[in-house]
Structure 1
Amino acid sequence: MKNLVAATYAPMHRNGTLNLDLIGPYSDFLKIRNVTGAFINGSTGDFVSLSTEERKRIVEAWSSTKRDGFFLTNHVGHNNLREAKELAAHSEGHSDAICALPPSYFKPKTVESLLFYCGEIAKSAPSIPFYYYHIPVLTGANFKMIEFLEMAVKTIPNFAGIKYSDYNASDFAKCLHFDQGSQNILFGVDEKLVSSLPLGATGWVGSTYNHLSPLYYELISSYHNNNLEKANQLQEKAILFVETLDKLGGFNGAGKSFMRMFGLDMGPSRYPHTTLTNEQLNTAIQKLAQHGMLDYFGNQFSPSI
C-alpha cells in the first residue's frame, strides 16, 4: 500500500440497514480522486457496531467492484478470536490483505500474547498479507511497535506491515526503516501527516482522505518541492476540517454525514456516533468557507445540499 488509502464508511439506509448498492459509486468516487485503496470495516467503518455477517457482506460488495490497481484491505479484528479468524478466512478471495487490531476489553498484556492473537488470525488467511493495526488510544494495547515488528517477521509468515495510528515519531521511524524498509508501515494520524514526511513515510491510511485527498496530495507535493510553509498551511486546514466537524457531535459520525456533500448519502451512523442534519452541515460549510477551505474538496464537492 502506498499513497493515500481511505478508511471507508459503512453505507446505510435510513432504517440503519446496510446500503451495499452505494459501494460501487463510492469506489468509483475514490478512484477518480486518486485514492489508491480502501481500508474497510475499520474504526471509520463502524466495525464495532456491525455483526460478523454484516462485515462479510461489506467485503463481498467491495470485492465485486474492485478493479486492478486498487488495493482492498479488510479489517478483521474482534474481541472474539474465533470471530476474527472466521472473518480472516472469509477474506481470502475478496480482499488483497487483512488487518487486525487487538482485543480492547480484555487486552493482551504482553507482546507475546499479541503475537499469538495476530498469528492465529494471519494463518486463517495464509494466501494474503496480514497487517497489524496499532491504535493504542482506542485499544489500550500500547507496546513499542519496533519490538513487536522484530518478533512478528520471524513468527508470522504472511506478515506485511503495520497500520500505525499513533504519534510516536521515534518508534514509527524505527519501524519504517526496519530491515532496510522491508515492511509496509502506513502512517495513520491524518492531522499529523506532514510530520511523517521527514521520517520517510510513503503511505497513509485515514478517514479524511475520503474528503480531502486533493488537499493532501498538494501538501505532499509542496513538501517534496521544499515549500514547507505551504505544506504546513495545508495541514492546518486539514486540522480545521476535523475540529469543525468534531464540535458537531464527534468526527466519526460527522465525517460520514459530510459525504452527502459529494453526492454520496452514507446514511446514519450507528450508536454512539451522531448523524448530522442538513442544517448542521450547512453550518460547517459556512465556517470552512470563511477559512478558504472549499476549493480543497475537489470537483465532486457541492457546497449545498
Structure 2
Amino acid sequence: MSICGLLVNGTTGEGLSLNVQERKQLAEEWLCQGKDKLDHVIIHVGALSLAESQELARHAAAVGATGIAVLAPFFFKPTNKDELIAFLQKVASEAPAVPFYYYHIPPLTAVKIRVEELLDGITEQIPTFRGVKFSDTDLLDLAQCINKNEREQFTFLYGVDEQLLSALAIGADGAVGSTYNYLGQKNNLMLQAFAKPDLALARKYQFLTGEFLNFVTKLGFGVAQTKAVMTFVSGIPMGPPRLPLVDASEEFIIKAKAKLESIVWPDSD
C-alpha cells in the first residue's frame, strides 16, 4: 500500500464549512490535477440537507469521481440502522454507477450506530456500497466488520492515524487521514515494514507518529493546527480555517515544528 488517492471535501478539507459551489469547484480541480496521477479520487458529498447531498452526488458522478462518501447527518441524527441507511440510499441512488462509501466518524457526528450492524444486508438497499472510512477507535467494531464481511470484499479505510498499525493487523485495507498530508513518506515506510513483515520496524514508525500527535494534541490540535503543520512541512500556504475555527497560534507553530524536527526516524539513523 502507498498513497494512491485522496478524499476531497472531508474533515481536514473543511468540506462542511464550504458552500455547494465551492465544494463542486474543489472536486473538479482535484479530479483535474489527479488525472493520470492518482488511482482514486473519492468525493465526500455528505451534508445536513439531503437535497444538497444528492446534488453533490450527481455532480461527483458527472465529473468522474472514482467514489463518493457520505457521513451521517449530525444535527437531526438517525437513531437506528434503518434511518441511517434510508438517508445513505437516497444519496447513493443519485450516482448509481459510482462506488459508495460510508464515512463513519462518531467523535464528530455523535452517531454511534455500529458499522457491524449497518453492514448487514446493506448491498440489497445500496447496490453500489463498497466500503467504509472508519474514523473511530472502536477496533472491536472494525474487526467484526472485517471478519463478517470478507465474502462481500468491502474496503475498510482506517481514519485514526495514531492507531493505523493496529487496524492493519486486524485487516484494514488502508487509511485516509490528515497525518498523511505531512508524514506520508514515513507512513509509507511503516506500511512497507508491515508488509515484509517487520513488525518491530513498523512499530517504531507508528510510535514516532504517535509521539508527535500526542505532543500536539496536548497543545490543542484540530483542523487549523493541522493546516499549520501542513504549511510549514510543505511550504505551500494552506490558508486560514473558516470560522468558528481560528488560526493556529505562533506558539503552537514554533513548538510543533521543533518537535517534528527533533524526531529521529529509523530511515534517518
TM-score by length of 1: 0.80
- Listed as ranges, the gaps of 5+ residues in structure 1 are 5-34, 297-305
RMSD (Å), alpha carbons: 2.0
Which of 171, 186, 194 is equivalent to 1:215? 186
CA distance in 2, matches of 1:258, 1:220: 22
CA distance in 2, matches of 1:294, 1:223: 14
1:108-137 deviation digits (Å, cap 9, x = unpaired) = 011000010000000011121111011111
Q: Show the 5 A alignment for 1:1-305.
A: 3-4=1-2, 35-68=3-36, 69-94=38-63, 95-177=65-147, 178-180=149-151, 182-261=153-232, 262-276=234-248, 280-292=252-264
The aligned length equals 264
1:179-225 deviation digits (Å, cap 9, x = unpaired) = 43511111111110110122122211111111111111211222233
Q: Given the superposition, is the C-alpha separation of residues 226 and 63 from structure 1 closer, same or farther in structure 2, using an over 3 Å criterion? A: closer
Q: Give the letter for the 1:43 counterpart.
A: T
Taking every aligned residue pair, what percent have the same amino acid on both sides? Answer: 35
**Which gives a bigger RCO, structure 1 or 2 (Cα 8 Å, sep 6+)?**
1
The farther-off stretch of 156-165 and 237-246 is 237-246
1:260-304 deviation digits (Å, cap 9, x = unpaired) = 2212111111123332355642332222223326978xxxxxxxx
1:36-79 deviation digits (Å, cap 9, x = unpaired) = 11101011111221111111111111122122343101111111
Displacement of 1:87 after TM fit?
Answer: 0.8
The answer for the alignment partner of 1:22 in structure 2 is: none
SS at match of 2:201: helix
Q: Given the superposition, is the C-alpha separation of residues 118 and 172 from structure 1 closer, same or farther in structure 2, using an over 3 Å criterion? A: same
SS at match of 1:264: coil
Q: Give the letter for the 1:197 counterpart.
A: L
CA contact (8 A) 2:204 2:266 kept: no
- Listed as ranges, the gaps of 5+ residues in structure 2 are none
SS at match of 1:206: coil
CA distance in 2, matches of 1:181, 1:126: 19
Q: Give the letter for the 1:206 counterpart.
A: G
The farther-off stretch of 109-118 and 171-180 is 171-180
